[in-house]
Structures are given as C-alpha cells and as structure tokens.
Amino acid sequence: MIRVLALVLPLLATAPGEREWTESPHRATIYLNFYGAILEPGNNAALDQAPCIDQTLAYPGFPQSQQQAMALVQVFESLLEPFGIHVVWEERPPAHLPYAMVMIGGKAEDFGLGSGILGLACEIDCGDSWWRDVTYSFAGGKDVTMAGQVAVHEAAHAWGLDHIDDENCIMYPVASSVKRSWATECTPYNTSTGEIECQAAHDEICGEGAGKQNSYAELMAIFGPSGPDEEPPDAMILEPEDGEVLEPDEPFTIEVEVTDNHQGFGWKLEILEAEWEQVAYDQETTFEVTLPEGTYTLHVEAIDHDHNVGEDSITLHVGTEADGTGTDTATDTGAGAELADPVASCACDTGGRNVPQAWSLWLLACVALCPRRSPGHPRAIVMR
C-alpha cells in the first residue's frame, strides 16, 4: 500500500517479551451493508466490487428485522470499540473515504458453496494493506450474538488475522452463540482449517517463530486506539499554478499534496465545469488530463474518518486568457476531460455457514475461490 505524505503516529508500545510493530497505524471505517447491492467482480467497496464472483451478482439485503440488525450492530461495535475503526451502517460513506464493507445477508449457495457456510473472505490481507476490502456474512439466523461475531471474524481476516487455538476468542475456528472476545496474549495458532497466512505479521508482535498471534495487540498496532480526531487533512494543488494558461487538447499533469495527522484518509480531484471527478483509490497524487478550450476550476478534497475535510481550488484557462480573450469558457463540456481509471485490487475473505435453529457449533474450513492479492487463501465457515 502506498502511504503518501502522511504524518504518522508514533509506534505503539508492546507488552514485555513482545516485539514492536514496524508499521504506523492507520484509521479505518467499515460499512455494514444490510441493504444489498448489485455486485461486480473486483474488490473495491466504494464501487460495489466484490471478490469471489466472476459475474454480476444481485446480493440481497438482511432478511431479518431492523431490531435484529441493530442488535448485530451493537455486537460488532462493542468488539471494535477499542480501536481506531469507525463502524457505520445507516448511510454508505463517501467514495473518496477509504472504507471496507461487510455484506450482511445473502447465502452461501450464491457462491457455489454448501448451505452450511456462514461467511466468506477471499484472502487474508496481512496488515490490512488494502483499505477497501469486501467480505460477506450470511447471517440469516436469529442469534445476533453469533451473527455479529461471524461478521467481525470475517472482517478480521481482511485485516490479516488468522485462526488461534482458544475457544473463548473471536478468531477460534469453531464458534457458538457464546459471547467471545479478542485474545490479548500471544496465543498458539489453530491450523485445523489450513495454513497460517500472515505469520510474518504475527511475528512482529509475538516474536519470530513463536507460532502465536495476539489478536488485540495486532489490531491495535494496525489501527491505533479509538478517539476523536478534530484536525482536518491538508490538501493543496501543486501543479499547475492558479491562473495558468494552457494549450487546448494538450495533455498536462495535475499534482496534489495531501497530508493528515492520521494515516488512512482519502481524497479526490474534481474539474467542476466539466462535471468530472477522479477518486484516488490507489492514493494517486498525479493525474494526466486533457481539456478543450475553456476556463475550469480544479478542486481537490481530502477527508478523514471523522469526516473532517481539507480542500484547495485553482482556476485554469485553457486556450483563453483570464480577461476573456479567446472563445467562450466551458460550462458544460465534460466530454474532453480524460484520465485513466485506477487499478482495482483483489481482496481478502473468510467464510461462514448457516446453522440450524439450535445454533450448534460451526467450523471454519479453507476453500480456494479467488486469486491472491496479498498472501492468503479463501476461507469458509462450515458446519460439522
């Protein structure tokens, strides 16, 4: 993942005998989508792209009541409360804010899996290297404690957590409706469902070759502690200069600089008169553009996870002087603006399975469904 001109937090302290995480934390937002969506292949939550599919999929919404949905949200929020992660569900975040998404609803059969699967994540994303992962929770049952824990378990795989061998913990591969928590000590792996994908990352906390994962410490290292952020990002257009005159229909470069006190923020570039915008999905800071003759307003907007906004605007004259010399200014000419689309990355996922009314135990098992984007294999939660 590219980290562009971001001011970072100090490295987190670790417990005695444990090691220091080598990356600085970034804040995050995760969107619980209870409404369903028309999904396309890929892995960008803002574009309704999702892994583990090779064609358009009409993904249904949450099949239970609003009351049950809110109870699931409470379980999800309570487990993530210590970390710098915002949980939203009522309204989708803006596209230029990097956010992950858990699709709540649907069924395993939509992915060619058995009816016992509770959830799905297409690969484990070590250290949360891609901020726009999509995972699935097939939470059709009525036990909201289990449903909420399944959704968190799936999201955690997309943040790089593997299975551990403690039945009281969220990342244990056999689950029930019993309330669980994060492991706060280095806990041995559970390899009953497959290999450990992010061992190098876990070693950063527990020591090289320890064969253990401290789920709480790793999430804290990745996201930092929760807390308000009142400082907006800084955004500036470096090139071209305000008021610059350019040749029409000739490519030119727009360069922006964006910084913030926390990593994890996002930004977009707009050309207002052309009704054109480009979200920096891959954290681009340079954009190649061609414009027809006219006067244009360039606007860059950066946003953080507390929805603080920083912005900057300049005026460009393309084939016309500031005093009006030349042809009429462009007020509705969007067709001439050109820019290559960003490259979409593939994401990470783990799986789950629907259980009978007795809500007996389910077991996580590996299923290879999607090519890797970062080290990892798809996983599915199945009933035993």
Question: Tell me: the pLDDT tens digits for 120-138?
Answer: 888 789 999 999 999 999 8
Work out the angle between the directed axes of helices 66-80 and 144-157 (0-180°, nearest 10).
50
Residue 86 three-state SS: strand
Domain boundaries, the chain: 28-227+345-383, 234-318
Distance (Å) of CA 338 to CA 287, 290, 312, 334:
10, 6, 21, 9
Cα first-last separation, the chain: 38
The label of the residue with tokens 């302290």 reads 13
Strand partners for 49: 40
Q: With a cut of 80, say whether residue 365 has pLDDT above it.
A: no
Query: What pLDDT does residue 171 have?
Result: 95
Query: What pLDDT does residue 115 have?
Result: 75
Residue 282 three-state SS: coil
Please give the helix or strand (H or E) that residue 212 lies within, else none.
strand 212-213
**For 280-331, how does the pLDDT look when each residue is reduced to its tens digit (9 = 90+)?**
999 999 999 999 999 999 999 999 999 999 999 999 999 987 665 544 433 3
Query: What pLDDT does residue 175 have?
Result: 67
Query: What pLDDT does residue 325 have?
Result: 53
More confident residue, 370 or 65: 65
Q: With a cut of 90, say whether residue 248 has pLDDT above it.
A: yes
Sheet (strand 49-50) strand order:
49-50, 37-41, 57-59
DSSP annotation of 209:
T
- Nearest to 265, CA basis, from 11, 25, 89: 25
Query: What pLDDT does residue 2 have?
Result: 26
In whole angstroms, give the CA distance from residue 124 to residue 129. 10
**For 142-159, how does the pLDDT look when each residue is reduced to its tens digit (9 = 90+)?**
688 988 999 999 999 999
Query: What pLDDT does residue 93 have?
Result: 98
Please give the helix or strand (H or E) that residue 317 lies within, else none.
strand 309-318
Q: What percent of the chain shows pLDDT beyond 70?
A: 77
Question: CATH code for 28-227+345-383?
Answer: 3.40.390
More confident residue, 98 or 144: 98
Q: In the CATH scheme, what is the homologous superfamily, with its name and number, of domain 234-318?
A: Immunoglobulins (2.60.40.10)
Query: What pLDDT does residue 21 have?
Result: 65
Q: With a cut of 60, say whether residue 177 has pLDDT above it.
A: yes
Query: What pLDDT does residue 155 have?
Result: 96
Q: State the pLDDT confidence band at 140, using cuts at 50, 70 and 90.
A: low
In whole angstroms, give the CA distance from residue 21 to residue 5. 20
Residue 47 three-state SS: helix
234-318 has the same fold as 28-227+345-383: no
Mean pLDDT of all residues in the chain?
Answer: 81
Q: With a cut of 90, say whether residue 229 has pLDDT above it.
A: yes
Please, are residues 354 and 116 in contact by the beta-carbon 8 Å criterion?
Answer: yes
Query: What pLDDT does residue 296 have?
Result: 97
